[in-house]
């Protein structure tokens, strides 16, 4: 039950601000964010099982992030890993619009996903659970394991808190990490049925910690007016509050 919060064109000094939690089974092998051995111009985490990524950035000012969809397992596993959606964008030359148009035609090759890709001039969104891609207007956006801006409590609460943090310059990385570390269940919006769903269960909080599954890392990514991009990530020990932290930056080149 991952979460991505995105502010696009909402701060005078930071055109892009992204705050994300990756939730995964503790047993799944993972590498913390760092330069990719085969492509040192890309920085991001790596899924060591399938080789893809959930969030990464490139020296050329591109970024991509993906979440899965809350749905039953398919009868037949699709052939491609969703993590390739991130790496393929960063490794290729396509604009966000061209890339998403191509991926839209390949939607059945993946299990359900929501995908964000962007460069210094545009940010786009696509899900294989909806028709068509979107180039996003400046604004605040949130994704968990459903379509963009589906009003799950953690999405609604996260967007509200992100807006408040951006209103207080300069960028507060500590405040963003505090937002992502909230392990309290947000209240359900009026009219949202609980029905024993993950919206109201142990996976409802922004930060998840259960016996076998939880928030593996919290990542901040932002661009600045000079054209640089910074990635700051905390990786958490399974079931514990301790973390290790890495910071990487690409200057405009």
- What percent of the chain is modeled with pLDDT above 70? 92
Mean per-residue pLDDT, 134-150: 97
> Residue 10's domain is classified under what CATH number?
3.60.60.10
Flag whether pLDDT at 223 surpasses 80. Answer: yes
Flag whether pLDDT at 93 surpasses 80. Answer: yes
Mean per-residue pLDDT, 187-211: 67
Mean per-residue pLDDT, 33-53: 91
Q: What is the pLDDT of residue 36?
A: 93
Q: Return the beta strands (E) in the chain as ranges.
A: 3-8, 16-25, 30-36, 39-47, 55-58, 63-68, 113-118, 123-127, 134-135, 139-143, 213-223, 229-236, 243-250
Flag whether pLDDT at 170 surpasses 50. Answer: yes
Residue 91: helix, strand or coil by DSSP? helix
Domain around 114: 3-250
Q: Quick one: pLDDT band at residue 201, thresholds 50, 70, 90? A: low
Q: Is the backbone of residue 196 left (phi > 0), alpha (psi -120 to 50) or beta?
A: left
Output the average pLDDT for the chain. 90
Flag whether pLDDT at 195 surpasses 50. Answer: no
Residues 219, 20 contacting (CB under 8 angstroms): yes
41-45, 199-203, 235-239: range with lowest mean pLDDT? 199-203
- pTM equals 0.93
Q: What total number of domains does the chain contain?
A: 1
Q: Quick one: pLDDT band at residue 15, thresholds 50, 70, 90? A: very high
């Amino acid at each position: 039950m991952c979460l991505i919060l995105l502010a696009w064109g909402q701060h005078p000094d930071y055109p892009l601000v992204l705050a994300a939690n990756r939730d995964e089974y503790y047993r799944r092998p993972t590498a913390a964010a760092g330069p990719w051995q085969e492509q040192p111009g890309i920085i991001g985490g790596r899924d060591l099982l399938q080789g893809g990524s959930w969030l990464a950035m490139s020296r050329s000012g591109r970024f991509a992030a993906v979440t899965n969809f809350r749905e039953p397992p398919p009868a037949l596993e699709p052939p491609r890993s969703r993590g390739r959606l991130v790496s393929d964008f960063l490794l290729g030359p396509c604009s966000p619009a061209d890339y998403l148009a191509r991926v839209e035609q390949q939607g059945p090759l993946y299990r359900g996903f929501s995908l964000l890709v962007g460069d210094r001039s545009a940010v786009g969104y696509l899900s294989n659970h909806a028709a068509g891609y979107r180039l996003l207007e400046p604004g605040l956006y949130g994704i968990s394991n459903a379509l963009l801006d589906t009003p799950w409590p953690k999405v609604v609460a996260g967007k509200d808190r992100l807006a408040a943090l951006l209103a207080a310059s300069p960028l507060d990385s500590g405040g963003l990490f505090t937002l992502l570390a909230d392990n309290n269940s947000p209240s359900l919006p009026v009219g949202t049925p609980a029905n024993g769903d993950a919206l109201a269960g142990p996976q409802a909080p922004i930060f998840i910690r259960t016996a076998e599954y939880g928030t593996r890392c919290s990542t901040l990514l932002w661009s600045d007016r000079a054209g640089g991009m910074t990635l700051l990530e905390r990786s958490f020990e399974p079931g514990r509050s301790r973390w290790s932290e890495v910071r990487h930056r690409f200057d405009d080149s």
